[in-house]
Structure 1
């Protein structure tokens, strides 16, 4: 008696019969909330979008979208497919960039996210070294908000992120490796009326104009706590920005103060923009680290990670005198481990 074939499961249908066209249509409907807007995005008719999504639901035998408050939303079964479509599209976009780069005779493209802590010295030096080794590599530096960079790293839009992040706060699919310790200092505009004093008190500086990070950021939270530890309220005369170039420009044009990582402050001092004040200003930020996705690390990204390590090792030498750096905070795993998972306990 012949054996009957068991009916295909939803998972087997997904892996064997679902097309990228169907996934794109589903994602566009959910992301825009509208079949007409999805049609505009995909450059097809609205009926074609509706028909494609209906085909996918019929193939899987599942409802993937529902309409609530005059907008389309993914169901519990539709959401993983939307996320799959987003990951596939990101991978295709990156692959397209790699192919275009190779066709132009370059040696691949690298997308790096970086915060201000890496922009003054570490990242430019590492990029110069990589370009010396790989002159035709196309390098792209992204400096948007940290949460967005983490999302882009997970989705594949970024290869690496160089930032001062805590491993416990990040998803387990990201891996980090310590690069270097950085302490914070207070800088004052070189032309500030108080810049020529020989001593400063926090109470005196509280009433001055300050450049501070945006509300809700890790740096802003720690900065406010540092004022509170001194029994003071944070300055009310402030400009909030996360842009290093704007910070330098403001210090040059206005009598202001700011907290900075030491390397940023040293650059500002060399440029004659600001003076470093001899104050204890440690905010407790984590060390500067490089982060990547555990399942995605291109050869070019691997090479740049090694270059970052080399440059950081040369820059992280202990200092002498009154500007000696604080002891570096340790990553989430023992120092012997070359890399650590975001999910590792402290």
Structure 2
């Protein structure tokens, strides 16, 4: 594990950029032995030499180039909010102080932050006080309900999260260079992806990477998006949003999907020929929750016909729950057509012949705009794209080109 000594990492970058311990020492106004010692300690934690030492200077090894690339990205994210608070913070802020800042922002309480870090409360309080002293301003407002982070504190905490994630990516890339599997790919899975797109891609990934850790986390879109932007999640797979909810993400369309209205095989409406919106509005429904693209299309189906929407609705995004509900009563369901394919193929439910001009929904991958995948993460993206090639309609056959920010996998 790479030592999280920010000062040592800055000195390492200076040597990498300048090719000289002496010049790096001059840049930071410290002694040459101090730089040499910092690099040596970093090499121990990084698992090998970072420089080829020659008479002509210090030249990064393959390992050094990997670490330098990720470290530059980390400081490119971290330094702007540090400098905004105080230029001196770039030189004196420690990993421990930034970790304390992150936890206090999350918990809004010194004691809870300390407990989550396994530290004493005064230690966390002192770390925040040191940051505030260097910044020359308070980072938190003390209220009766807890600590309220200032805008500058929130921005710095967010930058620190992403910077630390870059160092974790560096560890994964260094391990890959040695043939080891380090780091976990974290995928945020929306309902449609869990049943259609992800299983095939994950099986293919496991065939090529038998031991690489993968974690799939379920949740609502807004929860997964927060995790993505914080660096806790690497990519979200599922229905894309229109309009794009925030600028610091990239939505990449993999294929297009449509909607279907479902029922149990012996439902009174199964096979009926006059399934008008007015008649369907009188039924009991199981549909995705408000705020999802699928629900917007369901509501739009009735709105376009000038019909009041159904009043008997159970909100559920799971095809498994929907299937069980449909088989236990005269319920109808409305969900992604591809999600229902397996259930229909196995004779569990049927698709009703409803004349509806469903708009095609873009299904794809959402990532941070600044994200640079490791080789393992890139493999997962490639396999998702391959799995999607046989699903739905290709991107160039539907939907306006400017609906989503273009991205490349």
TM-score (structure 2 length as normaliser):
0.69
**Cα pair distance change 1:33/1:109, threshold 3 Å:** closer
Aligned pairs for 1:1-346 within 5 A = 11-88=86-163, 106=181, 109-166=184-241, 168-284=243-359, 286-296=361-371, 297-316=373-392, 328-332=398-402, 339=408
The count of corresponding residues between Structure 1 and Structure 2 is 326
**Retained in 2: the 8 A contact 1:120–1:264?**
yes
**Retained in 1: the 8 A contact 2:169–2:183?**
no
Is the partner of 1:77 in helix, strand or coil?
helix
Is the partner of 1:12 in helix, strand or coil?
coil
Deviation, structure 1 residue 166: 3.2
Whose helix fraction is larger, Structure 1's or Structure 2's?
A: 2
Is the partner of 2:390 in helix, strand or coil?
helix
Query: Which structure has the bigger radius of gyration?
Result: 2
**Residue in 2 aligned with 1:343?**
none
Is the partner of 2:214 in helix, strand or coil?
strand
Range 42-51 or range 207-216, more displaced: 42-51
Find the aligned partners of 1:151 and 1:93 in 2 and give their Cα distance.
Answer: 19
**Retained in 1: the 8 A contact 2:240–2:365?**
no
Find the aligned partners of 2:404 and 2:114 in 1 and give their Cα distance.
Answer: 52
Deviation, structure 1 residue 70: 4.3
Is the partner of 1:186 in helix, strand or coil?
strand
Structure 2, unpaired ranges of 5+: 1-27, 29-81
Of structures 1 and 2, the one with the larger relative CO (CA 8 A, separation 6+) is 1
Find the aligned partners of 1:227 and 1:112 in 2 and give their Cα distance.
Answer: 34
**Cα pair distance change 1:149/1:96, threshold 3 Å:** farther
**Cα pair distance change 1:201/1:70, threshold 3 Å:** closer
Moved over 4 A (4+): 8-11, 88-108
CA-atom RMSD in angstroms = 3.4
**Cα pair distance change 1:158/1:13, threshold 3 Å:** same
Structure 1, unpaired ranges of 5+: 319-325, 341-346
**Retained in 2: the 8 A contact 1:179–1:288?**
yes
**Retained in 1: the 8 A contact 2:284–2:330?**
yes
**Residue in 1 aligned with 2:61?**
none
Deviation, structure 1 residue 235: 1.1
Deviation, structure 1 residue 99: 9.6
Deviation, structure 1 residue 146: 0.7
